[in-house]
Structures are given as C-alpha cells and as structure tokens.
Amino acid sequence: MRLNYYYNFKNTIRFFMDIEGLDFTHIEQNKSSWTVPFKFRIKKDDKNFRTLQIPNIYNFKLAFDYYKSKFPEFNYNFEKLEELDSHKRMEISYNLGEFKENSYDKWELVDYNQLINYDLLIRCDIKSFYNHIYTHYIFEDVTDEKTIDKPLSHMNNGRTGGIIMGNYISLFAAELLSKKISIRFEEEIENSNLDCYFSYFSDDFYIFAFENDKTKIINLFDEVLEEFGLEKNEIKVEFYDYLTYTCNDVIEKYWKIITRKSKSQQFSQNTKIALGKLKYNNNLFFTNQLIYRLNKLDDYRKKRVFIVNFFKGEFFRNIDFSRTYFNDYNYHQILYLIKEFPEIILYIDKILNSFEQFRSEDFINQIIRFYERSLLLDFHDEQLYYYYLLHMLSATDKIKNVEINKKVLESKNYVLISYYIKNSMFFNCEIDTIKNYDDESYWLVYYYLILYDKSLFDDLENSVRKFLIPSSAKDETIKNSYMNFYKDNLTQKNEILVSLDKIHDVIEEYFKIKYSKEKK
C-alpha cells in the first residue's frame, strides 16, 4: 500500500495530500514527543460531520515504521487485516487505500442466507468507538511491553483515552480491539447456550437470532462492551427480518436499473448515428434517472452513496460524451447534484470539460455561491471540492477578497488555508494574522507559511523552532530530530499538498488501478 493511503485511509483527503516525497532521513525511534493532530471535518449526513484527525507527519511515519516491524512478532500482518477474525466483515483494497466494494455483495448474500436460518437481524453500533478506546487495552494480551501504545498515543497529543480517526494505523488498532470484543461475545454466547450468528464491520455488529432470544443477546452484548469501557448506541439499534432487509437494500438495484436502461438507449442511438439517422446521442439520459431515484431514498447517507458511487462506477467512466446532445434540463440537474453531493466534482470532469455550459459565467458564479455558502458550514471536505473546481475553472481571482479570505481563516480548514498560502490567495494582512497564531494544530499551515514566506524561509531555523517544534519536546535530542526533519524538507522545497493541477492525474491513476485490478 502507498504511504499516502496509510496516512489518509479511504477518505478523499488522500487525493490532496502526498507525503511519499518527503525526506524521512531524520525520523528516529524513541526521539519523539506528543504532537497535536489537525481536525478535518467531513460531511456525515445532511446535518452532522465526522471529524478526521490528521497526525503530525513525523509522528505518523515513526508509528508506521514501529508497528510494521513490531506486528510480525505477534503474528499480525499489517496488510491482512481481514485475517484477524473470521467474524470480521471488513476487507481492504491495499492498492486503493479503501474498503473493497465487492465485499459488500458477498456479505449481503451471507446476511440473506442467515435471515433464512434465523428470525431477525439485530444491528448494534458501539457508541463513539474511537473516542472511547483505551489504548492500553489494545495490546495488553499480546505483550508485556508497557510502551507499545506510545507511538499511537503520541499522534494524539499523548492521550491514552481515545485514538484519532482517519489513518490506517488507527484503523488496524481499532480492529484489534474489535477482535477482542468479538472473542468475548462469542464466549458468552456459547456459555449461555444461545443459538445465534454474528459478524461485524468495525463498530457495527450484525447479530442474527431467534425472536425469543433477542433480549438475552442484546444484554450479553452490553455486558461484553462494559468490560472494555464501552456501550452500544441505543438510538442505532435496528431490527430486520428478511422482507424489511430487502426493502432497505435498494441502492444496488437502482444502479443496475439505471445502467441497463442507459446502455440500452446508448446502443440504440449509436446504431442510428452509425446509419446516419441521428446526429447526437443523449448520453446524459442517466441524470433524469438519478434524480428520479433520489426521490425514493429517504436517508441522506444512502443518497450520497447512490450518487457518488454511480459517478465512480466503471459504467459512467466509460461513457463517451463527444457526440452527446445537451438538454437544458441537464444543466440544472447536474448543478443540483454538485450542490447536494459536491464530492462528485472529483469524478465528473468528463462532463464539465465536454460542454460549454460548464465554462460559462453563470456556472462559475453559481459555484462561487456554493463555495461561499460552504464556508459558513462545518464541512471542510465540501469547501475543498468547490475551491478545487474554481481553480480548474481559472476563477480563483473572483474569490480573492478580504471578506471571503476572512471566512476561510475562520473555517479552520487547515488544508484549505494551506492551499490559500500556496496559491497566493491571501493578502499580507492575512499572512500577518496567521503569523500571530499560537496553536500547534496549525502545523500544516505553518509549514506552508515558512515555505512560501521569504522572510521566514530565510530565517529557517528560528522559524522552525517557533512554529513547528512541539511544545512537549523538552529533550534537546528530540528537538533536534524534529528540527532536522523540517529543515531537510523545507530546504528541499518538498510539498505536502498535491498541486491542484495534478489532482485529476492522481484520481485517474486511482481509477486505472481500481478497474484494472477488478478486471484481473
């Protein structure tokens, strides 16, 4: 797996950050201190966000090297997470840095068969799982080494209560604890002579049982969680029988219907084009279908999965828009999809580049309105998508003003702020404001501040000492390790953010690997 995918697993921020080109010569085991991660909020549903915490790069690489060398001692393979436990549903695509999509179909088939064997499926979610993990619990049964969780806690400002979310190391550590919960739950089920079957995906447990046993089983699950200082999320306990589970599972069906109808129409129209009976193909027929099916989904997360994964799908990526007739309604439909699900901006460049309507002043002004609105909300990922699109439209000069820049600073979107520094979007007054910050969570911003501010770069050692050395680093040898790491990379002008002009290439490489692997 690429180091970038270890650093930011699954979430799209991995397309914007590249740490593989950094110089790690001065990363030294046992020479680290507590460091503060920065927060990056991604949209969870129409009202809430999930907070990723992006660790200091020095500490992350140290933890990565340490655990990759240490885990084989306990017969753990860093890239075979799914082998930890037969009850584990999670399967990883290590070349893509995400969960395997086809594993969903496989486990769905298991679920339906188990709903033939049992009366119902009980889904239980562990409440605030990552926040309540006690790091000492993770490794206590595999080693007596007291400091084995030290690299993990050092990425989280030294905290042993809770682990940061968003990187693969934390994911693997959380799955080690999930395995322990699974083992204890299985033991209690056997001791109670209950007939049931369970599997789990991270903190989401799927328990198949008979109606008469459901209360006993839920109580057992509660007791097991209590042993680890955890509790289930009461409002997320769900019950399904065969028919209700079928009704709940509609997204895959919708994709297949839309794909089948679109392929049929494209074949018919391409045949007429070849015979000279038709000039254009309505290859955007699927936008009507997407909007129509959206009305049938009542949950935002399902809607997002439905739309985003359609545009990530191989069917869409193979459509040729060179002879496509663009209807007036296609414009507002696509704008609506961009407004509601801005992640698709990363995947629909073929549409945006094929039709002049998406280079018009009207379109640019609409995206600016979306962008300004996003800066008032808490979703950092959406702010980044809109800014990226405005850059690709060569329209960032239209948003370079004091009012919008103030909103960018207030957003505390560290990735966006760093891009603003990199792309000279701030005025001197805003740069001076950042220089007066005193907050270690701004380490990425400070790195770019030093890299692009001549006065700070010319006084490199003092700048690194002021902005980038962790305050908890008291030992001089530890301070020197951090100093050398940052000095090496700043001197070499090594970037952490991917140039916005190269994001498209990064995503295309992702799809190239994704679909070549699936075909293989």
pLDDT at 195: 96
- C-alpha angle with apex 424: 352 to 505, nearest 5 degrees? 35
pLDDT at 520: 46
* Segment 512-519 mean pLDDT: 76
Residue 217's identity, in one-letter code, is: I
Helices (H) and strands (E) in the chain, counts: 25, 8
* Segment 486-499 mean pLDDT: 98
d(CA 320, CA 396): 29
Q: Render pLDDT for 283-295 as a digit per residue (tens, 0 to 9).
A: 898 999 999 999 9
Do residues 483 and 475 make contact, with C-beta atoms less than 8 angstroms apart? no
Q: Give percent of the chain above pLDDT 90.
A: 78
Q: Does the structure show a pLDDT above 90 at 266? A: no
pLDDT at 417: 98
pLDDT at 399: 98
Q: Render pLDDT for 344-388 as a digit per residue (tens, 0 to 9).
A: 999 999 999 999 999 999 999 999 999 999 999 999 999 999 999
Q: Does the structure show a pLDDT above 50 at 246? A: yes
pLDDT at 141: 81
pTM: 0.95
Question: CB under 8 Å to 225, separation ≥6 — which residues?
Answer: 126, 181, 231, 232
Do residues 119 and 241 make contact, with C-beta atoms less than 8 angstroms apart? yes
Burial 18-39 (b: 16+ CB within 10 A, else e): bbeebebebbbeebbbbbbbbb
* Segment 306-311 mean pLDDT: 95
Q: Give percent of the chain above pLDDT 70.
A: 99
pLDDT at 280: 82
Question: To the nearest whole number, what is the mean pLDDT of the chain?
Answer: 93
Q: Does the structure show a pLDDT above 80 at 518? A: no
User: Within 10 A of 236 (CB to CB), how many other CB atoms are there?
Assistant: 13
Q: Render pLDDT for 381-424 as a digit per residue (tens, 0 to 9).
A: 999 999 999 999 999 999 999 999 999 999 999 999 999 999 99
Among all chains, which residue has been given the structure tokens 């530890």?
478
Crossing angle of the two packed helices 361-374 and 328-340, in degrees rounded to 10: 20
- C-alpha angle with apex 272: 269 to 275, nearest 5 degrees? 155
Question: CB under 8 Å to 49, separation ≥6 — which residues?
Answer: 41, 42, 43, 378, 379
- C-alpha angle with apex 184: 178 to 190, nearest 5 degrees? 135
Residue 179's closest CA among 68, 86, 63? Answer: 86
Domain extent listing, the chain: 3-248, 251-500
Q: Does the structure show a pLDDT above 70 at 519? A: no
Backbone phi and psi for residue 88, each to the nearest 5 degrees, phi listed first: -80, 125
- What the block records as the tokens of 38 is 């920065």
pLDDT at 140: 84
Q: Render pLDDT for 41-77 as a digit per residue (tens, 0 to 9).
A: 999 888 889 999 999 999 999 999 999 999 998 889 8
d(CA 466, CA 253): 56
CA 436 and chain centroid, separation? 31
**Start-end of H helices in 18-76:** 57-70
pLDDT at 119: 96
